[in-house]
Each structure stands twice: as structure tokens, then as C-alpha cells.
A = this chain, B = another copy of it.
């Protein structure tokens, strides 16, 4: 057995114990984790300081260093989040359906944990806690592979979590981390299909592509949002300015933020200067087609802007940049979205019922909005209580994934000597 096979084998064993625990036992472990995070704050901060110092030496950007940083307040936040997950209902054991077949066999379809999750992520120590907590809550074992930049933080966190789990009577191998920073271990993890049931990448497009390509285990891909708002000619233009501003500016670094604004030609002259004026207050940089440029120029807009290259409409900006183009009608808007959207979150702003319905029907993104900001695509906003990831694929789960999406089901047939007739 390789080192990783041993980890996989131990995870499978732990998952068998964990998978049949009642909610109270799992919640006790979560409570122990929350308490341990608080008790061991100093140890965790010290470990994190080593990562931050190393990151500074390596010349990581200020944004990266901030994502990497743990503070007393952030650790308290992690403990609080753990207790919130504890308070959520446990999906495991729910019967999705139950009926009696014509022959008298009682058939149920019951939620059970997935089994063993493999989670691959980048330099965010909060994900370590987040994922471990969601896994324990749903009775899944988890193998964590964090970014090398947070190695010491992750080791300290995982050690605290494992001790807490064990103190609550659960197998500590329910949560394991791959400590060796050797990158080939990621590839090995992606092929460990004997022991791992599901891979969740939490990171950029390159990580998702790598997982899709190399994994022999089902992968939940997503997280990449090239999001659109289409301002129809029948839109309430005042509200449209508010929505576009909210979608672009409120938190530009996240996947449900707006990337491309499509404006119906007939309302461009009135709408573009108004939205430009609003966005200028947040110092948004526009990437515009020549038509948009002409309209803004005529209106005397002084917003920062460049002429858009064709790739600019295939960008997830994750910053205060916005692509803008005109369309002839809703059909051209939908065609643009079909071609460029990552099927994350797209919106139409219109008061025209037929156009609203056409957009809902023809745009197949994980979340489709009418007269609302794309920023709502979020487990918390959708009332799921917790968010595991946001999927943009078609299988298993789409959009924000909550606890239920960390479960699968089995069919249970209860007979009384039932045999199948010829």
C-alpha cells in the first residue's frame, strides 16, 4: 500500500462508522471542534504565522496573504460557523420516498452519506475547517489536500479537529490531510477510486480542468462564473442601474459577480450613460464595443474604459471590470449567453412577461434570474444553511450545494419471502 492508499483505506473504514451514527453523536463532535478551535487559538495563530512569514518571503500578493491569514476574530468566526452547521437538520436517514409495490414488497429510497470525499483547494485555511465540519455533519469521511502556502496552518487545524473528533468518540480518520506537498499526490488522489467517492475542487479554472482531466472519480466542477445581465428594452431602467451596480460592485471578487452587461440597442442611449455614471463611483473599468464607446462618448461619460477584445467576453473578471455590448433583441442576448456563459448565473431585466419566460426557458445556467442581481447565487441566500460548493455541471447537483448534496441514497426492499415472478 502506498501512503495515499493507507489514507484512503483508513478513510473508508472511518466512513463506515461515521455513516451510521445518529445526529446527536455527530453534533457532539462538531461541538467539540468548535470548542477546540477556541481553546487552541494561540497554537493555530502561531502555525499560521509561519505560513504568513513564508508567504511574505515568497512575495505573495497582499490579497493572497489576506486569504491566508488567520486572526483571533477569524478563528472565533470559524467556531461560530461550526455551531451554525451543528444546528442544521441532518439529511442522512431521510426517506426520499417509500411505497409498497403491487406485489407487497415495501420499497424505500433513503439518504445515506456519499462515503469518502476528496477535497482539493488552494491557500485558504478556512476551507479546512469548513469542509471537515460539513463532512462530519453528513457522516462522510474526508481527505483534505490544501495549498502548500497554508501547510502549517492546515496541519495545526487538522490536528485540532482530529483530536476533538476523537474526544467525542468518533474515529479521528474521518478527517485526514495529505501533508506531503509533492504535487504528484494530487494526481494519485484523483485516481484513488477504490476508496474515494467524490472529488470537490475548490479553486480556479486550472484546478477544475486538472480534476476533470485526471480524475477517475466523479468530480463536482463549478465555481467559475462568467455571469451576464441582459437589460431588455422593456426593463425598468432605474432599477436596472441598481441591479447592475449590485451585481458588479457589491463583491467583485466572487464567482456570482457580474462579468458582462448586454444592453438592448433601443435603450442604450438612455441607459448606458446612467449606468456608467453609477459604476464610475466605484471606479469600475469598462471593456466596451465600439458602439458602446460611441454612445458613451456622445453622452460625455468620463468612466474609465477600453475597447473590448473578443476574449474580453470570455473572462471571469473577479475584479471591478465589466464587459459591455449591445444586442438587437432578446434572441441575440440569449445567443451571446449560450456562447460565452459558464452556466453559473445569468439575469434578464425586463417587464415583458414573454421575454422573461423565454429567458427562463432558454438560458440553462445553474441560476437564472428575472429582475434580480446575480449575487443571490449562494447557499446562504438560498436558505441552504451551508454551502459546500457551487456546481455548474449537470450531474448530481447544480448551483449552490448544501448538506443534502453531500448525500446519496440507497433503495431498501423489505419483503416476506418475495421472489420475482417470471
Contact = CB atoms under 8 A, between A and B. Distances in A.
Interface of A: 16, 19-20, 99, 101, 105, 107, 112, 114-115, 193, 197-198, 212-213, 216, 218-219, 236, 239, 242-243, 245-247, 250, 338, 356, 360-362, 364-373, 375-377, 381-383, 393-396, 398-400, 408-420, 422
25 contacts: A19-B364, A20-B361, A20-B362, A112-B364, A114-B395, A115-B394, A193-B212, A212-B216, A239-B417, A245-B419, A247-B419, A369-B414, A369-B415, A370-B412, A370-B413, A370-B414, A371-B417, A372-B414, A373-B415, A373-B419, A376-B420, A377-B411, A381-B420, A394-B408, A399-B411
A413 B367 contact: yes
Nearest to A422: B250
Contacts of A408: 394-395, 398
Given A243-B417, A375-B420, 7 more contacts: A19-B364, A105-B372, A360-B412, A367-B411, A368-B411, A371-B418, A399-B410
A351 to B, nearest CB: 10
A197 B420 contact: no
B411 A250 contact: no
Contacts of A218: 218-219, 393-396
Contacts of A381: 101, 420
A418 B101 contact: no
Contacts of A99: 383
